[in-house]
Amino acid sequence: MLLKGVRVLDLSHTLAGPFATMVLADLGAEVIKVEPIHGDETRSWTPIVEGESAYFLSINRGKKSIAINLKHPKGREIVYRLATISDVLIENFRPGVPEKLGVDYKTIVRYNPKIVYCSIKGFKQGSIYESLPAYDLILQGLSGLMMSTGTENDPPIRVAFALFDVITGLLATTYILAALFANARPIHIEIPMYDTAIFSMCYIPMIYLLTKRTPKRMGSAHPSIVPYQAFRDSQGKWFIVAAANDRLWRQLCKALKIEYLAEDKEFKTNPDRVKNRDKLIELLQRIFLEKPRDYWIKILREYGVPAAPVYELDEVFSDPYVVSQNIVVFQNHKKLGRIPQLAQPGYFNGKRLMTSKAPPTLGEDSYDILRNIGYSDKDIENFKKEGVIL
């Protein structure tokens, strides 16, 4: 495993931080997840299967769990011991909370002057928005994303999963790995999620910045390319057509037996098609309503035009590619037995790297972790009695 020997002290919760540490665990790092006595808040997020949250299970494989009361001096002492033997610490507490708990960068670096300390925050610390909450829904609203999805008459539409948390988590892994590679220690990395949200939308805000025009809400369509969107078939199903350049446009015309439109002055070039978008899309949609989705996808692919079905989620996991590439893998969970997990998408010399350790139950590894840093069984029992650990 690429990160064998790297130890990560994970004080993060919810999604962005845990997603980052799951990726590091899959790459071989030892990740010690420090949870509050009541557990990461996502352990209570539905659906709950035999006492375990599907949400939590999706982002916490490969980690060891210890539940510690950080408000107790002995709880902080445990964290300091863990920090001294760790390479990375990642946290996403609200501003001011690390200082109150004594796990802020200035404190931790005294215990480990070679730490890579990564803070994920909703907004830059010290900024005018520092104290505002930064749930996914809030960031999707503030970034402009919710007013760039859907169509013009729709209410604001949220992307169905916490997109910016995931992107922030991926940036966190990138920045952490860069610091480890460069041996830039100690270092305090801070990643504001709002900045990440705007950054990750790339060309959508750039179109506005260059033209001063707010991009229209176009559903599945693209502001810069036509035709490049979903169409409905004769059975009410949807499929994608992505004629992303003039050559593909000509191939699309051949496939649909409308070659005369390929040289039509209203549609010949992509700028022409963007200008006359509504007229062209209406024309194509009338054609696509004549036959079912599978027919059109087969024909379009034969002519080299990028096309694909718009799946319901159950269809995703019966897709032959998804099945044949083992995108769903299984692990043995302490309580649930065999559970599904989504495989890491990357390959290293033809092989996926992925931890074999299932997501932990709360405090599952407390005894082993504490013994490994020098505490006796008696110490551990006393910690339990005093409410220091679960």
Q: What is the pLDDT of residue 216?
A: 87
Of the candidates 136, 165, 195, 365, the residue annotated as catalytic is: 165
Q: pLDDT (tens digit, 9 = 90+) per residue, 365-376?
A: 999 999 999 999
Q: pLDDT (tens digit, 9 = 90+) per residue, 227-266?
A: 999 999 999 999 999 999 999 999 999 999 999 999 999 9
Share above pLDDT 70 across residues of the chain, in percent, rounded to a whole number: 100
Question: 3-state class of 289 per DSSP?
Answer: coil
Q: What is the mean pLDDT of residues 25-50?
A: 96
Q: What is the pLDDT of residue 369?
A: 97
Active site residue 272: no
Q: pLDDT (tens digit, 9 = 90+) per residue, 132-180?
A: 999 999 999 999 999 999 999 999 999 999 999 999 999 999 999 999 9
Q: Which band of pLDDT confidence, cut at 50, 70 and 90, is reported for residue 195?
A: very high
Residue 340 and residue 54 in contact, taking contact as beta carbons nearer than 8 Å: no
Residue 257 and residue 265 in contact, taking contact as beta carbons nearer than 8 Å: no
| Tokens encoding 103 | 């796990």
Q: pLDDT (tens digit, 9 = 90+) per residue, 196-207?
A: 999 999 999 999
Query: What's CA 356's distance to the chain center, in Å?
Result: 21
| Tokens encoding 255 | 């496939």
**In the predicted structure, residue 30 carries a pLDDT above the cut 90:** yes
**In the predicted structure, residue 215 carries a pLDDT above the cut 90:** no
Between CA 389 and CA 35 the distance in angstroms is 10
Q: Which band of pLDDT confidence, cut at 50, 70 and 90, is reported for residue 353?
A: very high
| Tokens encoding 318 | 């019966």
User: In the chain, what are the domains?
Assistant: 7-201+324-386 (3.40.50.10540), 228-309 (3.30.1540.10)
Residue 122 and residue 193 in contact, taking contact as beta carbons nearer than 8 Å: yes
Backbone CA torsion sign across 328, 326, 177, 32: positive
Backbone CA torsion sign across 266, 212, 200, 168: negative
Q: pLDDT (tens digit, 9 = 90+) per residue, 319-347?
A: 999 999 999 999 999 999 999 999 999 99
Residue 27 and residue 19 in contact, taking contact as beta carbons nearer than 8 Å: no
Maximum separation of any 2 CA atoms in the chain, in Å:
85
Q: Which band of pLDDT confidence, cut at 50, 70 and 90, is reported for residue 186?
A: very high
Pairing verdict, β 48-49 and 52-53 = antiparallel
